[in-house]
Each structure stands twice: as C-alpha cells, then as structure tokens.
Structure 1
Amino acid sequence: MESSRPLSLKEKMAYGCGDAASNMMWGMTSSYLMYYYTDIYGLPLVAVSWILLVARVVDAFCDPAIGYIIDRIGGVVVPRLIRALAIPFGVTGFLCFLALPLSPTGKVLWAGLTYIVFGAIYSCINTPYGALAVMISRSATPRVDLNAFRMMGCQAGSLLVALLTIPAITWLGGGESAAQHQYGMAVYVLVLSVLGGFLWLCVAHGCTVRHPPAPVRRDLVVTVRLLCQNRRWVLSNLLAFFYFVGQAALFGFALYYARVILGGTEQVGANIITFVTVLLFAGVPACLPLARRLGTVRSGIICLIAQGAAYLAMAVAGASMTGFFLSVSLLALAQGVMSPLYYTLLAQAVDDGDPHASTGSAGLAYSINTWVTKLAMGLTGFVLAQFLSLGHYVENGVTQPPALSLWVTAGFVWLPLGAVCMQTLCLLAWRDRG
C-alpha cells in the first residue's frame, strides 16, 4: 500500500535527473545533429534525411522489445536496467558527434551506425524511466508532481545545451572552421556524456519502486490488441506524436529560420533555442495549479489555442525580430505549461483506461509511446531535410536561394501549426470531465 506521506523532494529531484540526462543528449540530436551533419561533418542532405528516418525504423523494434522484456520480468528490473545502461548511454551519445576522418561513404555509414546505436540505447533506458512514475506512486497529485519535476529536468538539460553549444564548440575548437568545430564538438559532447551518465545513476539510486507490476505472461499480439482497444491510450500516443512533431520543427529548424528568415547567424539561432528553453522551463510550474482548477484536458486545450495563435502571429511577423520574439514567447510559455500534461494523460490512460482493455503491461505501453515520440522526431527530421533540399540550401553559404525562405517557413511555422490542430482534435475526443 502507498504511504500516506508525500514523496520527498530528493526523490522528485532524482526522478527529474532522468529527463535532464536524456534531454542533454536528445537536445543535441534534435537541435544540432542536422546542423552538425550538414555544416560541420559535411554529409549530403539526402543522406542526412535517410539517416534520421532509418534510425527511427530500427527503433520500431527496440522500444516494444524492451517494454515487453520489462513486462515479462516485472517492474523490479527497472532500477537495475537504468543503472546498467547509464554509461553506455553516455558513450554512444558521444560517438554520434565524433567526426572520424573517413571517405564520403564511410562518413555516412559511421553517422548512421552511431545514431542508430544511440537510439537503441536511448530506447532501453528511457522506456523503463517513463514507466517508473506509475511504479513510484499510484496517486494523481504525486504523479503530476513527478512529471512536473521531469519536465523541469527536461528543460534544464535542454537549456544547458541551448545556452552553451555554439559558444562552447567555438571556444573549445579554437576557431570557426569546420575542422575546429569538429574538435570542439567532440570535447563538448564528451563532457555532456559524462554528466548524463552520472545523472542516470542518480535516478537508479534515488527512486524507489513502490508498486512494481507483476510479470505479464500474456501473448505479445494479444497484449498489443488489448492496448489498442484502450481509446485513451491511443489518443495519448497521437498527442505525443504531434507534440514531438512541433518540438522537432521548433528546435531542429531554429538555426535555419534564424539565418534564412530573420537574417541572423548561427548564434542568433542558438539564442532562440536558449530563449525558448528558458520560457519552457518557466511555464512548467504553472501546470499544476492550472490543472487543479480547470482539469487536464481543458488546460491542454487552452494551451493549444495559445500555441496556434502564436504560430499565426509568427507567420505575420515575417522577418521582424520583435514580432518573432513576441510570438515565440507565447508559444514557449504555452508549451511549457502543457508539457507535464502529456505524461499525466498517458499515466491515466495506462492505469485508469477502459477496464476491459487494461493489460497491466506498463512497460509495453510506455515503450510504444517512447517509440511514437522518436518516430515523430525522425519523420519530422526527414521532412525538414527534404525541405532544405527542395529549397536548394547551400551548406555554409553566405547567400541562399530566394525560394529557400518558403520551405524554411513551411517547416518552422506551418508544419507545427498543423500538429497543434491535430492535438486539439485529440483532446476534444478525450471525453474527460476533469
């Protein structure tokens, strides 16, 4: 039975360390990997788009597999799994940004292999981490608290990456050339990798599994079929998919939007990422009081309306730096307020879904959700790289073709605006009184 005492601040912070570790490396891959591949490592855009997509196809097997293993063994394996994978997580993340001096074909193969392996390790550590909140507490308020700390850890890790990356790789590399940036990037990511491994160890040692699910012996196909009968679980996955489409576009295209639309430099793009991350972090604490007052679904719809208005204002602002920052401020605050709600709704769907569709398979349920988020990131990265190719983007080019601005705007504004509309439809279909 659950203790009547609230969760300690230490345990909430330990839980938040997981997303801090994830998002240092995930922030690097989502915000800077495409830039690293094209402008630093010199990979062709077509190859970059396929690397991003193929890595997600491989994850289609990794995420459900680790979730199924967790369900077969039982929830007690989660802390041990996180502890065992903490160091491999850091090592593989570092290798993604290690620019080996290979032939053009060798570079593509090296980039693809390292990113695929990192994605697999990420699946194997982040899936049990996602299911951990349900095992720590079975009460609604502690879960919102845990997910709020998770989102604060997420934004803290993202903020560190956004604030330091461009200045750090220039300073550590000793200059602005591609070779100097390659060296600076490798040293910088090495530091992040060591810190990320340490934070994962904090999760393993600081969180207590109070409600470990019993091993599930049901056939995999039957389990998946029962999960798909849980309407709220399906909706929560659609919500996550379209949310991460928007996140991939926002962070993955910020550098290009700053250069092509706003007429700035890579540093302006890094400043945008930093600014957005700070406001995302600032918005998270408002989630709990808003959800208590209006309920999770109504709170989410209000946040989505604000995001839609922000994207429309951004489109109207065009090259105006003032208009852009006002628009992106509203967008980031609304996303920050809403971010814990995604995981709260997912926990509700897994734990409190339709009784006839309940499976007890938290590992598989969360693993598929993790795969859905990475599928969204991979597909969006593929689309964005194709947009750059269609606009004839020139790597390290001082001037760009005029048509490129239309494609960059499509990727940064119109694509995520469509994702916001789809999220709104999902919440309207939730049918939740709270």
Structure 2
Amino acid sequence: MAQVKQTTASAETEIRPFGIRDKVGYMLGNVGNDFTFQLATTYLMIFLTNVYGISPAFVGTLFLVARMVDAFTDVGMGIIIDQSKPTKDGRFIPWVKRMAIPVTVASMLMYNIFITDWSLSAKMIYATITYLIWGSFTYTAVNIPYGSMASVISTKSEDRASLSSFRNLGSLFAGLFVGVIVPLFVYTTDASGNQVVNATNFFFIALVFSGISLLCYFLFTKLAKERVSLPVQEREKLNIAEDLRDLLKDRAFIAVVLNALLALVAQWSASSLNQYLFLEYFNNTAILPLLNMINLVGMALIIPFVGKITKRFGKKEGGYVGLYIASAIYSLLFFIRPTNPWIFILCVLISSISTSYYMMVSYAYVTDVIDNFQLNTGKRKDGTIYSIYSFTRKLGQALAGGIGGWALAWIGYNQTLAVQTPEVKTSIFLVSVAIPAICYLLGAFTLHFIFPLNKEKIAENEKIMRTLED
C-alpha cells in the first residue's frame, strides 16, 4: 500500500488550530449553498408549472436531463480540483471566490417574471438554459470544492463529524427561511378562495436569497481554513479510467452513493410534492410554514445527541435505524389516508426526528469513504469522490422532481385548472407518501447490509490514518 503524506496547505506560515471559527465558516458556506439549492428543489417545479404554465412532465424530464449533464460537469470539476495546485488560500477556497457571483445571479434568473408573456416554447427554452447554467455549471463549480474541503480542514474523525453537523446546521438555518418564510409570500388566495401562486413575490424572494447566499460565501472564505493537502510533487498522473475502476470496486463507495440517492429521492420528493399536497389535497397552504418548521425542529432535537449516538452505536448503525422508522411512518400514512392535515404533520414530525441523525452525519460517511479508499489503494481522491457523491445528491434531487412530475402527469394533474378533481387530489396524497416510504426502506437496506464501515472498522481506519500522518 502506497503511503500518501499530508502537509499543511501553507507550510511557510503557522496555521491556527481547528476550532469554532472553522465550524461557523463551514456552516455559512452551506447556508450560501442551500439558500439557492433548497429554493430550487422545493419551489422551482411549482413556479415553472403554475407561473410559466409548463407541464409537470416536461419539468420532471428537465430535472433528470440536467443531472445527466452533471455526470460530466461534477466529475470533471472534481478531477480539476484533484489536479490543481494550491494557492496561498488553498486548493478549494479560490473556486468558491470565483464562482460565488455567477451562481447567485444564475439562481435569481430562474425565477424571471419578465418573460411570462412569452410563448410556451420560449419559456421552456429559457427554463432549460437557466436551470442548466445554475445547476450543472455554476452550482457545481461552488459546491464541489466546498464539499471536498472538509477533508483538508482537519484529518481528525471527530473534527470531520463536527463539520458535518455544522454543515447540516447551515441547511437547518437555510431551510428555516426557505421552508417557513417563502410560503407566507408566494401563495395568496384569489377571489374564489383558492390558493394561487404569486409570481412577483417569487422573483423578489429569489433576489433576496441570492444576496444572502453571496454574503455567506464571502464569510465562508474568510473564516474556514485549509490545513492539509497533498504535496504537488506527489500528485499522481491523471488516469480517469483507472480511478473510476477502483471506485466501482470499492464497496463502501458504492454503498454510500446508492444510499444517498435513495434517501434524497425520499426527502426531496416529499418536500416538492408537499407544495401540491397542501395546495390541492388539504387546501391549506397557510400551515405549510409550520410543516416545514416541524421538519427543522426534528433536526434541532437530535443535534445535542449526535455525538452520543455516534459514540454509543456508530454512524452507520444510528443512520439505518432512523431510515427504517421513517419508511414505517410513511407506509402508515399511505394506508390510513388522513384528511386532517394535523395528523399528517404529526407523522412527519416523527419521521423527521427519526431521520435527523442520518442527515446530520451523512457527509461524514463520505470522509470515511475517502480515508478507506486511500487505505485500500494508496490514492487520495477527495475531489473525485466528493464530486461523484455530489452528483448523486443532485441526481436524487432531480429524480425526486422527475418522479414527482411524471407522477402528477400520470394521475391527471392539470395545472390550468383552479381546482383538481377529487380523484386527482387523493392520488396526489398517495404518491406523496408512497415515494418516501419505498425509498427510505431501500436506503436503510443499503446502509444496513452493503455499507461496510461500521463503528469498529472506522476506529481501525482512524488508527492507521494517524500512523500515516506521523
């Protein structure tokens, strides 16, 4: 096994020790990411269908096609990072600095209300171009270096777990705004008492969120610090085919990718379809902010216990138990079919609590895989591995939107109608709970039976990694 040494990113100067400044900075980086990402994942479909008048089937297909493009742009970005030479700021931070403005501008342009009088074909072309620019290029160029950077902020497992928790705190904070504030402004009631989408408010919310994202990216680059990197002279010659073959033979890598895909389809399909569920089935979007807040409350309740659960049971073990419980909750909803939204919200709260530990440590799975891959092959491929993982997450988001869009088309949802038929309303509820029930179950299986990095194996890998650092 080849030994890969690690050095400080700036060997000539003394690097301050890892601490709260890095954690807060890394958290703010994800706040910047998620103000645009969660807005798109949760609301872009309903904006495109109800404001632009584009069919759900087209939107779902657009999301999926864009992720096929990401198969090249995400991995390409990871390879570029792995082969790049560090600057005085490190290897990852410079990319965030370069792409912060492009990604926030691209996000705002997706919600352009000044083209609503264009032809349907023109709006479809515009939506396709702006979504690809944002998701497949500019967001990729920010998110891949941001996510890869966790492994060079610190090599200690406990520090990385802390970074993963703070990253999810960033998601929690952004989700609070996206999930609670947005519904208060983008939905209004028409003269007939029906809930409708307010296009103008959509645009101004996108504008404000882009500004917040830009500020958060700036603070991230000032607070977080890269500490370790591969020496330039020891970088391997680029061999994409060989690296991919090695990764495809790595059981831990395959498992974490499949698990992320399934869990994210479950999570984001529920989030996206909830907009239609409360608009059409419950006819009560006023309590959507409460639903979204309850999701965040679930994470907040688990945060104090993340370290204790990890130490007592292990990241893998705590994760799959929560996914099994979530699948059971959504399966129960499928069969009882409540018409009272408060029963639905209570069940979602239980599901949220059960999956919150998994969400908090999900990025730590990736850093464990990176270390394990290095120990198995002698190669350190932070950027490549994280880029494929990031692509998988975006593919999960796209599949959630795609499956949701195709399901809406299949059940007969008509975006031009003020009120859907009773049959369509019931079908919206059924697909909204069936998709997460199935995907959470499959995600639990992959983590339970395929992912090999249990508590004991990770402890063994940590000991070996410490000897390599010495």
| 1:243–1:419 CA contact under 8 A, matched in 2 | yes
Map of 1:231 onto structure 2: 251
Map of 2:173 onto structure 1: 156
| Distance in 2 of aligned mates of 1:358 and 1:237 | 21
Map of 1:10 onto structure 2: 21
Q: Identity across aligned pairs (percent)?
A: 21
| Distance in 2 of aligned mates of 1:307 and 1:4 | 43
- Cα pair distance change 1:275/1:55, threshold 3 Å: same
Cα deviation, 1:302-329, whole Å, max 9, x if unaligned, reads 2122212221232225223232122101
| 1:227–1:357 CA contact under 8 A, matched in 2 | no
The 10-residue stretch of structure 1 (100-109 or 423-432) with the greater mean CA deviation from structure 2: 423-432
- Cα pair distance change 1:403/1:225, threshold 3 Å: same
Within a 5 Å distance, the mapping from 1:15-414 to structure 2 comes to: 15-74=26-85, 76-99=90-113, 100=115, 101-119=117-135, 120-169=137-186, 181-214=198-231, 215-261=235-281, 263-315=282-334, 316-353=336-373, 355-395=375-415, 397-414=417-434
| 2:187–2:197 CA contact under 8 A, matched in 1 | yes
Letter in 1 for 2:285: E
Letter in 1 for 2:368: Q
| Distance in 2 of aligned mates of 1:317 and 1:395 | 24
Equivalent residue pairs, number? 429
| Distance in 1 of aligned mates of 2:271 and 2:54 | 20
Letter in 1 for 2:213: G
Cα deviation, 1:45-93, whole Å, max 9, x if unaligned, reads 2322222122212111110010000011146321100111111111001
The 10-residue stretch of structure 1 (180-189 or 131-140) with the greater mean CA deviation from structure 2: 180-189
Letter in 2 for 1:306: I
The 10-residue stretch of structure 1 (107-116 or 200-209) with the greater mean CA deviation from structure 2: 200-209
Determine helix, strand or coil for the equivalent of 1:394.
coil
Determine helix, strand or coil for the equivalent of 1:42.
coil
What is the RMSD of the two structures over their aligned residues, measured on CA atoms? Answer: 2.4
| Distance in 1 of aligned mates of 2:416 and 2:284 | 11
| Distance in 2 of aligned mates of 1:248 and 1:118 | 18
| Distance in 1 of aligned mates of 2:378 and 2:174 | 34
Q: CA deviation at 1:103?
A: 1.5
Structure 2 gap ranges (5+): 1-6, 9-13, 456-470
| Distance in 2 of aligned mates of 1:420 and 1:359 | 32
Determine helix, strand or coil for the equivalent of 2:118.
coil
Q: CA deviation at 1:403?
A: 3.0
| 1:91–1:193 CA contact under 8 A, matched in 2 | yes
| Distance in 1 of aligned mates of 2:78 and 2:85 | 10
Q: CA deviation at 1:432?
A: 3.6
| Distance in 1 of aligned mates of 2:301 and 2:208 | 26
Q: CA deviation at 1:270?
A: 4.0
| Distance in 2 of aligned mates of 1:181 and 1:57 | 31
Q: CA deviation at 1:398?
A: 4.1
| Distance in 2 of aligned mates of 1:278 and 1:193 | 25
Cα deviation, 1:20-43, whole Å, max 9, x if unaligned, reads 111111111111111101112221
| Distance in 2 of aligned mates of 1:283 and 1:38 | 36
| Distance in 2 of aligned mates of 1:244 and 1:216 | 33
| Distance in 2 of aligned mates of 1:114 and 1:5 | 41
| 1:93–1:118 CA contact under 8 A, matched in 2 | yes
The 10-residue stretch of structure 1 (139-148 or 17-26) with the greater mean CA deviation from structure 2: 17-26
- Cα pair distance change 1:74/1:227, threshold 3 Å: farther
Letter in 1 for 2:308: P
Q: CA deviation at 1:141?
A: 0.6
- Cα pair distance change 1:132/1:265, threshold 3 Å: same
| Distance in 2 of aligned mates of 1:160 and 1:170 | 15
Determine helix, strand or coil for the equivalent of 2:422.
coil
| Distance in 2 of aligned mates of 1:84 and 1:336 | 33
Q: TM-score, normalised by structure 2?
A: 0.86
Q: CA deviation at 1:7?
A: 2.6
Q: CA deviation at 1:284?
A: 3.3
| Distance in 2 of aligned mates of 1:22 and 1:9 | 20
- Cα pair distance change 1:250/1:286, threshold 3 Å: farther
Determine helix, strand or coil for the equivalent of 1:77.
coil
| 1:74–1:216 CA contact under 8 A, matched in 2 | no
| 2:164–2:362 CA contact under 8 A, matched in 1 | no
Map of 2:459 onto structure 1: none
- Tell me which structure has the larger Cα radius of gyration: 2
| Distance in 2 of aligned mates of 1:374 and 1:278 | 24
Structure 1 gap ranges (5+): none
Cα deviation, 1:105-129, whole Å, max 9, x if unaligned, reads 1100111110110012111110111
| 2:195–2:285 CA contact under 8 A, matched in 1 | no
Cα deviation, 1:191-221, whole Å, max 9, x if unaligned, reads 1001101111112221111112344423111
